[in-house]
Each structure stands twice: as structure tokens, then as C-alpha cells.
Structure 1
Amino acid sequence: MTISLGTASAAPGESAIGRLDIGETRDGSSVGLPVAVINGVDDGKRLYLQAVSDGDELNGLGVIRRVVPQLDPARLSGAILVVGIVNYHGFQVAEHRNPIDDRKLNRTFPGDHTGSSSERISAAVFDAAKTADLILDLHQGSTSRMIDEVRVRCGRRHSLHSECLQLAKVFDCGYVLDQKGPEGQLARVAPDEGIPTVDPELGGAVGFGEESIQRGVEGVFNVLRHYGFLDGEVSTSRQTRAKRFDQFGAPVGGIVDYRADLGARVSAGEPLFEITDAFGQSKATVEADNDGIFWRSRRLPQVAAGEYVCSVGTNVDSY
């Protein structure tokens, strides 16, 4: 069966690239997202893969640039649908949100074909995503510093929770955040359509982060092998899972010095960071509220009072 996504159309054993129409810009010219279809020579499952729904999160695009050229439809069972850049407008100006409607695009799923710019984009890509058996929505921790992790966003009482958790384990980043996500996230909405979906958060970088991209490439190929798209066995490892976050802001303004490294185990009462003035004089020290893992931190050292500094993953176990 020939499979199409926008202008990309591929018969069994073929691949194609094209554009998916999402409307018009302010000068009336049409806009299309870059898309690809890899249609395997044999029948099988369908994977939907997307990146850059947040316009400054580029590691997912780095993964797609490496994965797609390696996919030979003559050796593939099933099909893979790819949207390389979802937040077209944010990507053009390297901004997290869609500057046309000032919305975070990954809060607008399932979208609306007659709604705002972000809602129209979400509706267009969700039409393709709904045809899949599995969904990978590639992200990163914006431009913050963050460990590589996979997020399961459907909620632990959802009927597809175990399948989403298994998909996260197969991706094999080593860390999983298992916490119900905000309304409008693809990884929360798609399971309601019966599709196991996860949100790999591949580190945090300005531009590309090489180690995180490579981990994402390996994760995608793990999924392709485990679910029968490609030949080969996958040995999944135990994942460290956090079920919630403690987030910490700056009690005073100044310069941040961290007392914990990314991925480190921290104990309740252990110092996480110190804030000094411009002359190195200590103004405040912030300690962990609970045992957990030092998960994420801001990149720039200067903070104002009340500004976000870091997060600790808590309620930690393994599976």
C-alpha cells in the first residue's frame, strides 16, 4: 500500500521526502513542514516520529538527520512517518514558542484545523500521528542543562501506561520521568487514541549536543528492532524512574554555584547550590527537600530572586 504524508508518497520498498502544508505566512505564501515516509517492503507496524515542536530544541532534529539516511526500505517491515521540524515558525527564529501566536506548541494537541497557528500545525501532524502504532516525540530540556531521559506523560492510571512505560524502557536512556503531563502534550493526548507514546528529552543544549543526539539515535534503533521494524534483538536495561519533580528557585539574586552534578544522587538536606554576590560572598545556600536525582539546572549562572535554578527527580525507583 502506498503511504503519503503531505507531498511525500512512497510505495512499499520506497522512501520519499516532501512538505506538509500548515497554512500561509503573513505575506500570503504557503508554509510546509519537512516530512519523510519510509515504507518498508514487508508489512508491519507504523511508527510516527517528530522533532522540534519547541523551536529551540534541536537535538531531536539531530537524531532524525542521522536516522533517516540509514533506513533502507528494502530491509524494513512496516512504515515510518517523520516530521523533522514541527514548530516551523519558532525554528526560523530559534525561539521556544511559536512567535505567530506566542504559544507553546506542545500544549495545543490534538489541535484545530481552523484555530490558531499552533493549533493548525498540531492538527496537521496529529492527523498523521493517529495512523501510527507507536509515537516518539523527540525533545530536549530546552537550553538548560539536563540528563538524557524519557517521559511517560499519560499518567499511571491510564490503560496504556504499561505499554508507554515499556516503550520508554526500550528507548533506553537510563532515566524515565513517569508523571502525568500537562494538557495538550502529544505524549499525553495520543495514548487516549490508543497509541503508546513517549517524549524522549535528549539532554539540554544550545544548538546540537553530540552525546545526547547519539543516545537518541541508539534509542530510535532500539525501538525499531524491538518492535519488529528491523531485524536484530535488543537487550533492555533497568531504568531509573522518577515520579515527580522538586523544583527550586533562587531565594535571592546573585551568582549560582552548584554543589551537585547532573545525574548525581542527592539526599534530603544536602546542599544543591549556593548563591554569592559579585565578589564571591555567600548570600544563600539551598538544600534538597527530598532524596532524589539532580535532574536539571539552568545554564547561565546569574539569577534574580525567585528565578528557576534547578530540579530534583524524586520518588525514585527502578524497573
Structure 2
Amino acid sequence: MTVTFGSASADPGEMDVGRLTVGETRDGSSFGLPVAVVNGAGDGKTLYVQAASDGDELNGVGVVNRLVPQLDPAALSGTVLVTGITNWHAFQVAEHRNPIDDTKMNRAYPGDPNGSSSERIAAATLDAAADADFILDLHQGSTSRMLNEVRVRCGRHHRLHKACLELAQVFDCGYVLDQKGPNGQLARVGPDEGVPTIDPELGGCVGWDEESIEYGVRGVWNVLEYYGFVEGDAGPVTQTRATGFDRYGSPAGGLVQFEADLGDAVRVGDVLFRVTDVFGRLKAEVTADGDGVFWRSRRLPQVATGEYVCSVGTGVTEY
């Protein structure tokens, strides 16, 4: 059966790229998101993948850039649909939010085909995603430093929680945040549409990070193998799972010196960071409120009073 996504159309055993038209720019010309269809020669399930829902989170674009050329439709059972750049306007100006409506794209789902720019994009991409069997919404921790992790956002009482958690374990970044997400996230809306959905957060950087991109490419391949799209023996892997975060801001302005690194086990009372003045004189010392894993930190050393510094994953178990 021929599969169409936007202007991309592929018969079984073929691959095509095209555009998913979602509106017009300020000069009245139409614009579309770059999309691809990889239609396997064999029957099977459908995987939907999207990247750059936030315009400065580029590691997912790196995954798409490396992954799609590796997909051989002749060896594929089922279909892979890809939106290579979701937040088109924000991507053009290397910003997090859509500058047309000042909206964070991953708070706009399920969207509205007659709504704002972000709502129209959300509605158009969800229309394709909701018909899939699995959804991978590729993100990163913006420009902060962060572990490579996968987020399960449906909530632990959702009927698809177990399926979403299994998908996260198969993707296998080693770390999972299992915490119900804010309204408007695709990883919240996808399960409500009956589709297991995860939000891989592929590190955090400015530009591309090769290690995180490799995690993402391998993760998608794991999903393809386990769910029968391609031959392979990937399966669920035990992960370090957190169910929440303790966030820490700076009690003083100055320069941050971290005493913990990403992935370190943290115990209550451990020093997380110190703040000094420009001459190295100590101004503040911040310790952990509880046990957990050092999960995320700011990239720049300079901070103002109350400014975000780091996060510790809490409620940590092996699952």
C-alpha cells in the first residue's frame, strides 16, 4: 500500500521525502515541515519520529540526519514516518520557542488546525503520529548539560504507562524520568490517543553533541529491532529510573563551581556546588536536600541570585 505523508509518497519498498504544509509566512508564501516516508517491503507496524519541537534542540535533527540514510525499505517491515524539523520558525532563528506566536511547541498539543502557528503545526503532526503504533519525540535538555535520558510523561496511572515504560527501556539511554508531564506535551497526548509515546532527552548542548546523537540513533534502531521492523535482538534493558527532580538555584550571585558531575550518586548533605566571587572567595555552598542522581546543570558558570543551577533526580530505583 502506498503511504503518504505531506507531499512525500512511497510504495512498498520505497522511500520519499517531501513537505508537510502547515501555514504561510509573513510574505504570504506557504511553508512546510521536512518529512520523510520509509515504506517497508514487508507488512508491519508504523513508527512516527519527530525532531526539533524546540527550535534550539538540535541533537534530534542529528539523529534524523544519520538515521534516515541507514534505513533500507527493502529490509523493513512496516513504515517509518519522520518529521525532521517540527518547530520550523524557531529552527530558522535558532530559538527555543516559535517566534511567530511566542509558544513552546511542546505545550501546544493536540493543537488546532485553525489556531495559532504552533497549534497548526501540532495538529498537523499529531494527525500523522496518532495513526502510528509508536511515537518518538526527540528532544534534549535545551542548552543545559544533562544526562542522556528518556521521559515517560503519561503518568503512572495511565492505561498505557506500562507500554510507554517498556518503549523507554527498549530505547535504552540508561536513565528514565517517569513523571507525568505538563499539558500540551506530545508525550502526554500520544498515549491519550492510544499510542505508546516517549520523549528521549538526548543530553544538552549548543549545536550537536556526537555522543548524544549516537545514543539517539542506537535507540531508534533498538525500537526498530524489538518491535519487528527489522531483524535484531534488542529488548528492554534495566534503567536507572527517577520519578521527580529537586531543583537548585543560587543563593548568591557569582561563579559556580560544581562538586558533582552528571550521573553521580548524591546523598543528602553532599555538596552540589559552591559560589565564589570573581576572586575565588566563597560566598555560598549548596548541599543536597535528599538522595538521588545528579541529572542536569547549567552550562555557564556565572549566576545571579536565585538563578537555576542544577537538578537532582529523586525517587531513584533500578527498573
Q: Same fold (TM over 0.5)?
A: yes
**Deviations 1:39-66 (Å, cap 9, x if unpaired)?**
0011100000000000000000100111
Instruction: Find the counterpart in structure 2 of residue 277 from structure 1.
Output: 277
**Letter matched to residue 16 of structure 2:** A
**Aligned-pair distance for 1:174?**
0.2
Instruction: Find the counterpart in structure 2 of residue 16 from structure 1.
Output: 16
* 1:162 paired to 2:162: yes
Instruction: Find the counterpart in structure 2 of residue 195 from structure 1.
Output: 195
Instruction: Find the counterpart in structure 2 of residue 141 from structure 1.
Output: 141
Instruction: Find the counterpart in structure 1 of residue 264 from structure 2.
Output: 264
Instruction: Find the counterpart in structure 2 of residue 52 from structure 1.
Output: 52
* 1:66 paired to 2:66: yes
**Aligned-pair distance for 1:238?**
1.2
* Residue aligned with 2:295, SS: strand
In 1, distance between residues paired with 2:74 and 2:313?
43
**Letter matched to residue 317 of structure 2:** D
**Letter matched to residue 264 of structure 2:** A
* 1:40 paired to 2:46: no
In 2, distance between residues paired with 1:46 and 1:16?
16
* 1:315 paired to 2:315: yes
In 2, distance between residues paired with 1:251 and 1:113?
45
Percent identical among aligned pairs is 69
**Letter matched to residue 182 of structure 2:** P
Instruction: Find the counterpart in structure 1 of residue 214 from structure 2.
Output: 214
**Deviations 1:110-155 (Å, cap 9, x if unpaired)?**
0001111100110111111011000000000000000100000000
**Letter matched to residue 311 of structure 2:** S
In 2, distance between residues paired with 1:234 and 1:138?
20
In 2, distance between residues paired with 1:204 and 1:170?
21
Q: Which runs of 5+ in 1 are unaligned?
A: none
* TM, length-normalised to structure 1: 0.99
In 2, distance between residues paired with 1:318 and 1:191?
24
Aligned length: 319
In 1, distance between residues paired with 2:294 and 2:188?
25
* Residue aligned with 1:176, SS: strand
**Aligned-pair distance for 1:160?**
0.3
**Deviations 1:177-206 (Å, cap 9, x if unpaired)?**
000000000001110011000000000010
* 1:230 paired to 2:230: yes
Instruction: Find the counterpart in structure 2 of residue 305 from structure 1.
Output: 305
* Residue aligned with 2:192, SS: helix
Q: Which runs of 4+ in 1 moved over 3 A?
A: none
In 2, distance between residues paired with 1:188 and 1:250?
31
* Residue aligned with 2:231, SS: coil
Backbone CA RMSD of aligned residues: 0.6
**Aligned-pair distance for 1:235?**
4.3
